[in-house]
Amino acid sequence: MAKQINWGIIGCGNVTEKKSGPAFNKVENSQLVAVMSRRSEFARDYAYRHKVARWYHQADELINDPEVNAVYIATPPSSHAEYAIQAMQAGKAVYVEKPMAATLEQCEAMNRVSRETNMPLFVAYYRRTLPGFLKVKELIDEERIGRVLYVNMRLVRPATIYESNRIDPPWRVIPEIAGGGLFFDLASHQLDYLDFLFGPVKSVQGLAVNRGLMYQAEDTVGASFIFNNGVLGNGLWSFVTPEGVEEDVMEIVGTHGRIEFSCFQHTPVYLFENDKLTEFPYLNPENIQYNLIRQVVESLQGNGACVSTGESAIRTNKIMHQIVSQYYSR
């Protein structure tokens, strides 16, 4: 790979405004040189505001730009595979938003083309590189809570006005586009992070229902699973709870203590050792994907490996599809 990584973005949505887009210019030997949106006015406006040299309204125009040697795909999951495969076949490395794709078959096709073309494929599970989440891993690796027994997670909250719009629902609750409901969008971060901590899941069972009757996708999900290393886990997700019923907690319990933290609120990590409580506050980078993007760039330059690839991300898609499979096979 060239020493200078020149990025093109396919999709100019909200995630690219602060979470990811500006980071491409902050990493050494990395530059954002082109953007694309099917709506020309979006691409033109984004390029103007972020001082990007070129903009396109067709994906193949960006992919075939000779200056672009790496492509970031920030579209809804149903188009990830199409664009990623096209980019890799054109000889471009790919960094794709999470979840990896809308279906397991699409994920498998992406990884197959990555192997066939020898083009790297990365997925934006950036919690694997954030300081608070690395602190949790450090505490576990140092056996501060002893041998890990199990993990519990709960993510529940009311539906937003946007999500409850029955006439024009957002793509995140349209299974054909998102892969499922908000479970796919949000729980994917949690499940991928647990994969980072404990390795692959050996077995999983899940139930998914729609109780809010606001949209077609599942809105309430429960799951139990066991990792290859013997750690047990369970999770509960609901995105249609009443006002005031809101929780975002991940709890890891060991033989000598427990760790409690939030997946999305970025509050301190809490370590409970017997009767002692220790807090570990932390600060995230201004652009929350910066650490992972830097790792992607360094990997492309041959300076280390990236912790989030197509091979790791497909495991999360597989687990999510297994959890909700009964709901969609009715």
Q: What is the pLDDT of residue 275?
A: 87
Amino acid at 8: G
Q: What is the pLDDT of residue 26?
A: 98
Percentage of the chain exceeding pLDDT 90: 98
In a domain, 328, yes or no: no
Give the residue carrying structure tokens 């139990």: 224
Domain count across the chain? 2
In a domain, 312, yes or no: no
CATH code for the domain in which residue 88 is found? 3.40.50.720
- Looking at the structure, tell me whether residues 121 and 249 fall in a common domain: no
CATH code for the domain in which residue 247 is found? 3.30.360.10
- Looking at the structure, tell me whether residues 143 and 279 fall in a common domain: yes
| Domain boundaries, position 23 | 5-126+288-307
- Looking at the structure, tell me whether residues 292 and 216 fall in a common domain: no
End-to-end CA, the chain: 47
Check whether 2 has a pLDDT greater than 90.
Answer: no
- Looking at the structure, tell me whether residues 153 and 256 fall in a common domain: yes
Which of 76, 125, 70, 138 has its CA nearest to residue 315?
125
19-54 pLDDT per residue, tens: 999 999 999 999 999 999 999 999 999 999 999 999
- Looking at the structure, tell me whether residues 137 and 75 fall in a common domain: no
- Looking at the structure, tell me whether residues 145 and 279 fall in a common domain: yes
122-149 pLDDT per residue, tens: 999 999 999 999 999 999 999 999 999 9
- Looking at the structure, tell me whether residues 72 and 92 fall in a common domain: yes
Check whether 330 has a pLDDT greater than 80.
Answer: no
Q: What is the pLDDT of residue 274?
A: 87
In a domain, 199, yes or no: yes
- Looking at the structure, tell me whether residues 172 and 276 fall in a common domain: yes
- Looking at the structure, tell me whether residues 153 and 296 fall in a common domain: no
Task: Name the 3-class secondary structure at 93.
Answer: strand
In a domain, 74, yes or no: yes
Check whether 1 has a pLDDT greater than 90.
Answer: no
- Looking at the structure, tell me whether residues 135 and 121 fall in a common domain: no
In angstroms, rounded to a whole number, what is the distance separating the alpha carbons of residues 253 and 259? 7
